[in-house]
């Protein structure tokens, strides 16, 4: 059973769930609402926040069930005054640099799951992010389901006046799940 995860990002002017998001290769933070932005060209000034980033992981391939989705910062050290905040089951709001007041992203695999899962055909996702509760299972029918997706995920980098000037350390964000 092979599974492919594609990260879809929505930026200013796009509405999550309408399938107008575009595949993204990075979760780079910056002072603009842009997909795959270059941090050096869009620096976050110490004491300010990055623009919020809205993602969903589309899961495709051959499986009978995906559940227990967990997301955390698995690598990369913070510099002084830096924090990445994360919410794993939210409604969309226009990206902004205002503090979203989410919790700090976990630095170890969470227990229980912290990312909601839903199926492409559950409710009217195009109208709004209709997620099942955290830990809900995405079951295939019959025996194969391609196109499942996570709930809408929000990320934001927060800095303080103590954050040093210049580039921050690269981080690794991991998404794991159980597959049957």
Q: What is the pLDDT of residue 109?
A: 93
Q: What is the pLDDT of residue 73?
A: 96
- Which sequence spans correspond to the domains of the chain? 1-180
Assessment of whether the complete model's pTM goes beyond 0.85: no
Give 10-residue mean pLDDT values along the chain (180 residues). 83 72 88 92 93 87 78 94 89 86 93 73 39 42 54 91 89 88
Q: What is the pLDDT of residue 173?
A: 93
Q: For residue 119, with 0-12 CB atoms within 10 Å meaning exposed, 13-18 middle and 19 or more buried, which class applies?
A: buried
Q: What is the pLDDT of residue 134?
A: 42
CATH of domain 1-180: 2.60.40
- What's the rounded Cα separation, in Å, for the pair 92 and 84? 18
- What's the rounded Cα separation, in Å, for the pair 104 and 109? 13
Q: Residue with structure tokens 């780079």?
A: 28
Q: Do residues 135 and 112 lie in contact, with contact meaning Cβ atoms separated by under 8 Å?
A: yes
């Amino acid at each position: 059973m092979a599974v492919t995860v594609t990260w879809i990002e929505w930026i200013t002017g796009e509405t999550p769930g309408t399938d107008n998001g575009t595949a993204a290769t990075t979760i780079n933070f910056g002072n603009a609402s842009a997909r795959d932005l270059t941090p050096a060209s869009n620096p976050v000034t110490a004491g300010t926040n990055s623009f919020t980033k809205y993602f969903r992981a589309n899961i495709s391939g051959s499986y009978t069930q995906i559940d227990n989705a967990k997301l955390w910062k698995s690598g990369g050290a913070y510099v002084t005054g830096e924090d990445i905040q994360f919410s794993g089951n939210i409604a969309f709001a226009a990206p902004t640099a205002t503090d979203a007041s989410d919790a700090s992203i976990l630095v170890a695999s969470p227990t229980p799951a912290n990312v909601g899962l839903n199926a492409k055909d559950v409710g009217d996702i195009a109208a709004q992010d209709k997620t099942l509760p955290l830990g809900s299972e995405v079951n295939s029918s019959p025996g194969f389901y391609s196109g499942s997706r996570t709930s809408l995920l929000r990320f934001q980098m927060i800095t303080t006046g103590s954050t040093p000037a210049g580039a921050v350390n690269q981080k690794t964000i991991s998404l794991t799940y159980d597959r049957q």
